Structures are given as C-alpha cells and as structure tokens.
Structure 1
Amino acid sequence: MIKISLERAARNPAASLSLPELPFEADGMEIARRTISNWPGYAPSPIRDLSDLAAELDLGKIWFKDESVRFGLGSFKPLGGAFAVSRALSRHLAGETGSEAPDLLSSDMKARVASLTVTAATDGNHGRSVAWGARMFGCRCVIFVCSSVSQQRKDAIASYGAEIRQVDGSFDDAVRMADQTARKEGWFVIPDTSDGETVIAPRDVTQGYMLMVDEALEQLKGEPPVTHIFLQAGVGGMASASAARFWQAYGDKRPVTTIVEPEKCACWYESLVAGKPVAVTGDIDSAMAGLSCGEVSLIAWPVLETGADFMVTLNDDAVPVMMRYLAGRGGDDRPVIAGETGISGLAGLVAAAQDEALRKEMGLGPDSHVFVVNSEGDTDPDAYKTIVGKSASEVLGQ
C-alpha cells in the first residue's frame, strides 16, 4: 500500500459554513466561461476515477480533475493567466473603441494591441500561461522568474515569444519586481497574487480558475455530492477559486475543505492558525515548485480565511511516491501524468486518510466522495523523467 506521512495538521479555528462576500465580479464566472470556451482548442479537462486508491484508503470515491491536458500547456494556469490577459486587453480596447466585447482574436484587434506589453512573475506555469495568452492575442510579453525556476520551464515560457528576466531571490521578490517595472514602463501587470493594492488582474485570474470546478460540477451530475476537497495552495488562487465555486454550488452543505502545502513554505497554515496573513521567510524552495510561496494572496484570503476547514503540510518526500503511483497502471483510471506540484493535493489526502485521528476528525470514510485537482503534468519533462524513471510519453504508451 502507498504510504505518505504528514508533517503538520490543524483545524482552522475560523472555519464557517456561511458564504462570505466574495471578492469577485457578480458576472465573473459567466464572462470566464463565455470567453475561454471560445478559444481554439478549448475542451473541459477530464475527471479521473481513482477507484483503486479509494478502495485502498476505504473511501467512497476519489475524483481527480486532470489539468495536465489543458490547452496543451500541461496545467490549469491558462484558465487564469491567459484569461486575465484577455480581460486587461479588452478593457483597454473598450476605452479606445467603445466596444464592450472586442474580438481579441481578430486581425484588427491584434494590430491594436501589438504595441502593448503584459508582464508577470512566475515560478513556472503562470508565466507560461500569460506568455501563451499574449501570443494568442498578439501583444508583447515580459516574464520575471525567480532563481529556483528550472531552465526547461524558462525555455517553455520563451517558446511563446516572451522575454525572460531573471530575478535573484524568491517568487515573492519576482512579484515585486514585475509590479515595479510595470508601473515604471506603463505595462499591464498580470499577477496571480494580490498585495491588496493590485486587485483587478489577480481577481480575473481567480475567476478564470473557477471554470475548472464549474466544469467538474457539470461532469459529476448524477453522482453523489462531493463531501471533501483537498486543494494545494501556493498563494491560494486555485484553492480559493475552487472553494468559492463549490460554496456557490452547495451553500452551507459545502465540502469539508483542506489546504495542502509543503512544510517549507506553509504560509496558509501559519496565516490561518494566526488568524491573519503571515509571511513565511527563509528557505522556501520546495520540490513542489509551484507552491514555493511565502505570502498569501489577499484576493484569496477572504475566501479561505473561513472556507478552509483544515490545513496539512507535507515534506518533499511525498513527491516521488505519488508521481510514481499515478504513472503506474491500475484497475482505476490510470496512468495519469502528474508533476511535482500536481500531485500535492492528492498526497495530502492520502496522508490524512492514513492518520486515524485526523481521518476521524475530518469525517473521511466509506461514504466520502473526494475531489482533488491534478494541477500540472510534466511541465518540467527532465525532472519528471528523473523522478518517475520514464518520460510522460513512455508512461502513457507502456
């Protein structure tokens, strides 16, 4: 049996079933659905039924939303970064042309945005999404990367025509540099996190992410309601979007929600225990690279402050165990290509379900129907092959 251990676990003292006032536009979900579904290559990402793992853990169902195939970019991020680029450009063009819904894919609009620049900071996938969106719509793109970003991830971003600028320091340092440069140069900054001052673009990013759960709700029609969700959290964009959409759909019967983080950079754990945003400093690099963040997003905070019920942290040893498990064939819906960050929510579930005291406190059992997100595939192919022992194509063709 697969075995993963927790580092820490805690109940959120502020958890509530009452839906707070969400920091999103009232029609944001509809705008995201209408916009993204019209992009070339759009299709809902599949949901995998991990029946063997559910049986091993004595759970009813494990639904694994597989974002490794989204738009060929290997992660859920296009739903956020590229969508936020489209919103920034649309607002700019609406001011110029008077059209509230300009067709960004038209040659006329591409000519109008060719002189504009969008920028973002990234630890990998968000920057790739912003660069992909910029290429699709025809504007210039500059991406700031922190020192821990691998060369393959930088090359993947650059392949969409983006200029890469290296920043010494952490992801949070890169976020600040992107914001400062955008203000100085008059660029559109597209962060996936908010310091409380830059709000509109990160709000757009989060609203785009909500489409992922919106798809899942449609795909799971006819199934028993989801009882638990395990969500990996870096700055908290995907986790807050997912929790919010389930909350909208289920009301006060929302699923029990658990936030999963690397022990090295557990800013949500520390913040929710403290009851206020707390920055984690020091060595915050993790094998779960997309979660190597020391500060929570203030767009995500109002949702997860009360919408998260539990927080768990893992050490990096969980990464190879879960990646290899998903790469193997089973009687359930495997193999699945999951990267170092992509597996973390599922690893948190496995660890929690194997801890008898925590399992009981969370209410995990044979009647539980758990939703988890595979947030990325092999976005660093060399790292994936080193960990799993095979490339993604070899795994799928085995």
Structure 2
Amino acid sequence: MFLQNTHADYRQPLDPRDAEILGMEAADAVERHLAFRENHAETPLVNLPALAAELGVASIHIKDEGHRLGLGSFKALGGAYAVIRLVLEEAARRLGRAVDVSELHSSDVREVAETMTVACATDGNHGRSVAQGAQLVGARAAIFVHAGVSDERVATIARFGAEMIRVDGTYDDSVREAARIAAEKGWTIVSDTSWPGYERIPGLVMQGYTTLVREALRAMQQPPTHVFIQAGVGGIAATVAGHMAIAFGDERPTFTVVDPARAACLFETARAGHPVTVAHGEPTVMAMLECYEPSLVAWRILSRVADAFMTVDEDEAIAVMRRLADPAGNDPAIVAGESGGVGLAGLIRAVGNPEIKQALSLDRQSRIFLVNTEGATDPGKYEEIVGLSPAAVARKNKTGASA
C-alpha cells in the first residue's frame, strides 16, 4: 500500500513546539549531554554502492544504530536522555539553582535521583534505554512489557536493575497500564509515545534522536534526496523528517514513512487524515514496530513534513535482514534486527513499482538515506531468521567470508 500526503497541513511550517524540540539548539544540547556518557561514540554511516547500483539509484547510506551506546538500537539516544534531563530538572527545582549535566554524578544529584522512579511501556528497545538511564543516575525504573515481548528481551532490560511488569495484551495495553500504575504511585512516565495532555517528555525522547541525524549529515559528502524511515508510533520518523525540514527548509529530501502492513497505524492515520487506532490482528515479525496507535506529536510533525506513507509485508522485512547479512558485491554486511531494515524494504518495494517510483521521483540521481534502527536485539530470533548468528555476520567484514 502506498499513498502520498494530502493532509491540509502538508508543507505547512512545523508547530512552534515541535520546531523547538527538533531544532538546532536542542540538537546541540543533546550532543553536549552525550559528551558526558562514558560509552558514547558516533555510530557508522555505511555506504552500499553495490546495492545502489542494483536498485538503480546513485547512492545508499545506512546509519547503523545497532552499535549505539551498547544497547543495540537508536532508542538508546531517547529514553536515557529524557531520564537524565528529568533528573537534572528535579535536582534544580529542589536545590533552587541551575544544575548542569556536568554535575550528573554529583552527590547532590544522586540524592535527588534516588527518590525518583521512572516508568515506561516497551516492545524492548525503549525500555532498555530508560532502564539504563535510571541506572546511570541512581533512580529506580519500572518497565511494563506486553505478552509479545520475548523473555530474552525482558532479561536484557532487567540486567539494568529495572523492575519488570508483564501486562496482558498489546503494546498499547501496556502503555495504558504503565500510565495508570504510575499515576497511582507517583512515578514519572518516560514514554516514547504521546497522548492528549502528555507531550513534553515524549518530545524529550524524540529530541535525543536528533543526534543520529546530525552525525549522518556531517558524514555525507552530499545531502540525501530521499529518506525512507520505518515507524512504530512515529517518533524516529518524525524526528528525522522534522529535523531535516529545519536543516534544509524547502530543499529537504523527499520523506517516506514505512509501516508494517500488520500494524500500519501511521499509514491508516494518513489515509483518514487524523489519528486512528488500528485493529490488533496477527502479530508482525517487525516486533519493535508493532504499535496500533500513533503518537500525537509524531503525527503533528509527519502530517506537515512526510511526503508519502507506505507499508511492507512480513516476507519483505525478513528478506532485507538476509540481504543485509549477505550483501551484494563488496558492500559490508550489516546486522539488522527484525525491525532494523524496514526502511530499506520500503525502498526496494518503491523502486520495483513503476507508479511509486514515479510518484517519489526515484531515479539514477537519487541519494538515499536509511536508518538501521536496531541490531540483533534478540540474537536467538535473529539466527533463526537469517541462518547465521549476529557474530558470524559481523565477522564477514573482517574475513570477507562467512564464519
């Protein structure tokens, strides 16, 4: 399925609140915060010239977030950043003075953090980031996971000392339960999705993601002409599209949002022209994107700056995982989890469909930017799908052959 943006807000300026969240000064602040993270390092921007030639475009660059902050996904930038910001703000309130990120590990800030509990719902990656952020500052974390989250992903979050709470139902059920329990107990919800009356903290989470865009643009000799980004509730797609709209103005790249067909909440929202909740059906292999209700902030941004919306099927997501693990020509291998390569799946579908290709003006001059949003966050599942362990795929780049 494919549709172009026909919303009344399309190509209108960003809401001032969103422009502030995703603007240059905010992105500078995120990078300064990251400078105080012990394991912070830029993630690689991977060039795939053989794949670009095969698909008939000028270039394909993938920002590989499978290496981010030891957590294996772009979510490492969001939840932990929001937790740190909230702890510093609470410390400033209690101490009656400004508190800088350089004081993050001071006894004053630690004493405040120890009185705080942060909570969130997660498919796996966001909860890991929130839990890590809480551990960094000495706060408690309560992470709500729905029935579809694998035991391996739960264990990975729990190792950061978080209290794990299982919830029957879907991701959206776990979001509602987390909000309910947090309100009862006075915990702070650090969600990556937003709802009426709850926007600022999801905005901070999205603000954290601006770093991957800044890093990628600095590494490119020429800016991209086209961007394909996968979406769950829409946070990463809205961040990339919104920040690029601010950075490039009218010269921004053509932006396409890619949904799993089985959880296409943003596609259906774009079709309806307003936020909608899609029915929960058969689970998708794209587990980190299995969301049935969009973030209101994300939709407010994407309604203005996304050019098109499309869906991909289960077999396409799986094929891309295998294709990145066993690349064409001399392209490097990339370990992409079940949701990591969905933007590439969208690109492949687009170039293979003459109508979509023409609608997006894809041709041999097109420069494509994608994000591998996660590595093998469930290594067992990855090996089951790809037929090789994540380590064996990674070794290809060192040996030139499968290990």
Structure 1 length-normalised TM: 0.95
Q: Kindly indicate whether the alpha-carbon contact (under 8 Å) linking 2:227 and 2:368 is maintained by their aligned counterparts in 1.
A: yes
- Corresponding position: 1:10 with 2:34: no
Q: 1:295 pairs with 293, 296, 303, which one?
A: 293
- Aligned partner of 2:52 in structure 1 is 54
- 2:75 aligned partner: 77
**Alpha-carbon distance between aligned partners in 1 of 2:63 and 2:112, rounded to the nearest angstrom:** 37
1:226 aligns with 2:249: no
In 2: Cα distance, 1:322 partner to 1:111 partner: 47
Question: 1:216 offset after TM fit, Å?
Answer: 1.0
Whether the aligned pair in 2 keeps the contact of 1:17 and 1:253 (CA below 8 Å) is no
State the shift of 1:97 in Å: 1.2
Alignment of 1:20 with 2:18, yes or no, is no
Q: What is the Cα-based RMSD across aligned positions, in Å?
A: 1.4
CA shift, 1:338, in A, is 0.3
Q: Which residue pairs with 1:149 in the alignment?
A: 149
For residue 291 of structure 2, what is the amino acid of its counterpart? C
Partner of 1:164: 164
Q: Could you tell which deviates more after superposition, 36-45 or 142-151?
A: 36-45
Give the conservation status (yes or no) of the 8 Å contact 2:116–2:139.
yes
State the Cα deviation string for residues 186-242 of structure 1 (Å, max 9, x = none): 11110000012111210100111111101111111xx22211000101000000000
Is the Cα–Cα contact under 8 Å of residues 124 and 154 in structure 2 kept in the other structure?
yes
Pairwise CA distance, 1:10: 1.0
AA at the equivalent of 1:111: E
Of residues 248, 251, 256 in structure 2, which corresponds to 1:250?
A: 248
Alignment of 1:302-313 (within 5 A): 302-313=300-311
CA contact (8 A) 2:87 2:112 kept: no
Cα displacement string for residues 82-112 of structure 1 (whole angstroms, at most 9, x for unaligned residues): 0010111111111011232342223442233
**Using the alignment, how far apart are the partners of 2:355 and 2:328 within structure 1?**
29
- Give the Cα separation in 2 of the matches to 1:59 and 1:332: 17
What aligned pairs does 1:1-398 form with structure 2 within 5 A after superposition?
8-14=1-7, 16-22=10-16, 23=18, 24-25=20-21, 27-102=25-100, 103-220=103-220, 223-283=221-281, 285-397=283-395, 398=402
Q: Shift in Å at residue 12 of structure 1?
A: 1.3
Quick check: 1:260–1:314 contact (8 Å CA) kept in 2? Answer: yes
Between 1 and 2, higher relative CO (CA 8 Å, sep ≥ 6) is seen in: 1
User: In 2, are the aligned partners of 1:284 and 1:294 still within 8 Å (CA)?
Assistant: no
Is the Cα–Cα contact under 8 Å of residues 238 and 302 in structure 2 kept in the other structure?
yes
Task: Point out the more displaced range, 204-213 or 8-17.
Answer: 8-17
Offset of 1:18 from its aligned partner? 3.9
The answer as to whether partners of 1:19 and 1:252 remain within 8 angstroms in 2 is no
Cα distance between partner residues in 2 of 1:319 and 1:329? 15
Aligned residue-pair number: 389
Distance 2:318 2:190 in 1: 32
User: Structure 2: which 5+ runs fail to align?
Assistant: 396-401
3-state SS in 2 of match to 1:325: helix
| Higher share of residues assigned helix | 2
Distance in 2 of aligned mates of 1:330 and 1:100? 53
Per-residue deviation, residues 137-175 of structure 1 (Å, max 9, x unmatched)? 111111000111001100000011111000001111111
Question: Is the 8 Å Cα contact of residues 336 and 376 (structure 2) preserved in structure 1?
Answer: yes
Give the TM-score, by structure 2 length. 0.94
CA contact (8 A) 1:18 1:252 kept: no
CA distance in 2, matches of 1:19, 1:332: 42
